[in-house]
Amino acid sequence: MKIFATSTDISQTRVKSIDVFRGITIFAMIFVNDLASVKGMPQWLEHMPANANGMTFVDVVFPAFLFIVGMAIPFAINKRLKNGESLASLWLHIFERSAALLILGILMVNLSGLNEKLTGMNRNLWMLLVLLAAILAWIKYPKSSTLLKYLYISLRLIGLIALIYLAAIYRSGEVGSISWLHTKWWGILGLIGIAYLFVCSVYLLFKGNFYAMISMLFVFFILYLLDRAGLFDFAKPFLLVGEHVGVHSAITISGLIISLLFFENTPAKSSNQRILWIVLFSASLFILGLILYPFYGISKIYATPTWGLYSAAYCGWVFAFLYWLIDLKKKTKWVKIFEPAGRNPLLAYLLPDIYYTLAWLLSFNLLWKYFGEGISGFIRSLFFAFIMIGITALFNRMKIILHL
């Protein structure tokens, strides 16, 4: 008995454009994160200020990450079910993955407040150890002999124990007002983990029904409106519900809806119909954003509905083009540079932070000193993003895959 629709395409070939879109998104995220330290950049290469009514290219990068997370959900869940995994095990996997992203996100955002004397450790060393421990804890170890299996389990335990220890010793504030880790926000990875949990939950509850997912898109925006009305103020200390999760989850489920068009029991019966549906669905999101614009404006910082709808629409149109170009027209030679990050996105995302902490720890600031402004800084950030993707490719060849 089929619990979810089985893909008509995935059983025969991978949807290559999804991996490429993921890789391009990670590349863009590395680039814009590094570019944030470059002075003299034009406004369209910077985040719009919180109270400004507008958005830039940079403001679409994080939503693209959410969007591609949503696209991956139906493929990942159906693959697990096809391999015989129980629903109970699947739910456990979703909770574990969400928790891991939340933990890593909150550890990363607390770096800025770390008091080195109270913690007893240099802030950059602490962050470097957090990142290395996370890699040990969540690396995808290969299946092998019993002896190596125990070695891999030991390495995973070392990583987890190290994360617990580093979290336990963390202190911020000053003597007399010492504080521990706090959740002023969950960080990029934490926000992704929350949206992933919400969207996976509704996907499982409604068994991947295409029209139910479209309905849930509107439910998530209603969640935003209810929070604006103050109905979730009691839950603000937990930050797991509210306006941000409503819009972030809506972006994520938009990617999931487009991904479902590759499966049975959806209106798209051919490649051309699929592209038409993606284009029209994205246009519908954009039009809805136009309707809501006078009421809420556009702000990435405040995660307004129009920002989320515009971002999801742009992502849908970009993906439609990539699908046409890569999977239908087979123009694939140029995509090889982005594929490594698409296959190992979390490691590619963490590698720049490993570099930054090492550079600050060793007082190596040549890149910031000589390439920190104007066109030279722009080229530095672009080159840096390509280097990180290249290092990810090397790790992929060594079978070092970070998989929550």
Residue 1 has pLDDT above 60, yes or no: no
For residues 241 and 401, the model is more confident at: 401
* Phi, psi for residue 398 in degrees, rounded to 5: -85, 5
Mean per-residue pLDDT for 165-189? Answer: 87
pLDDT for the residue 6? 46
**101-147 pLDDT, tens per residue?**
999 999 999 998 999 999 999 999 999 999 999 999 998 887 766 66
User: How far apart are alpha carbons 381 and 301 in whole angstroms?
Assistant: 23
The pTM of the whole model exceeds 0.75: yes
Token code pair at residue 388: 């990180």
Long-range contacts of 314-317 (CB under 8 A, 24+ apart): 314/60, 314/282, 315/60, 315/63, 315/64, 315/67, 315/68, 315/251, 315/254, 315/255, 315/282, 316/67, 316/254, 316/258, 316/278, 316/279, 316/281, 316/282, 316/285, 317/278, 317/279, 317/282
Q: Is 230 helix (H, G, I), strand (E, B) or coil?
A: coil
**Least confident piece of the model among 219-228, 335-344, 378-387:** 219-228
Residue 235 has pLDDT above 70, yes or no: no
Query: Partners of 114 in the beta sheet?
Result: 172
pLDDT for the residue 310? 97
In contact, 242 and 236? CB cutoff 8 Å: yes
Q: How distant is the alpha carbon of residue 251 from its chain centre?
A: 11
**276-303 pLDDT, tens per residue?**
999 999 999 999 999 999 999 999 988 8
User: How far apart are alpha carbons 275 and 324 in whole angstroms?
Assistant: 8
Helix and strand element counts for the chain (H, E): 15, 0
Annotated domain spans of the chain = 16-110+182-397
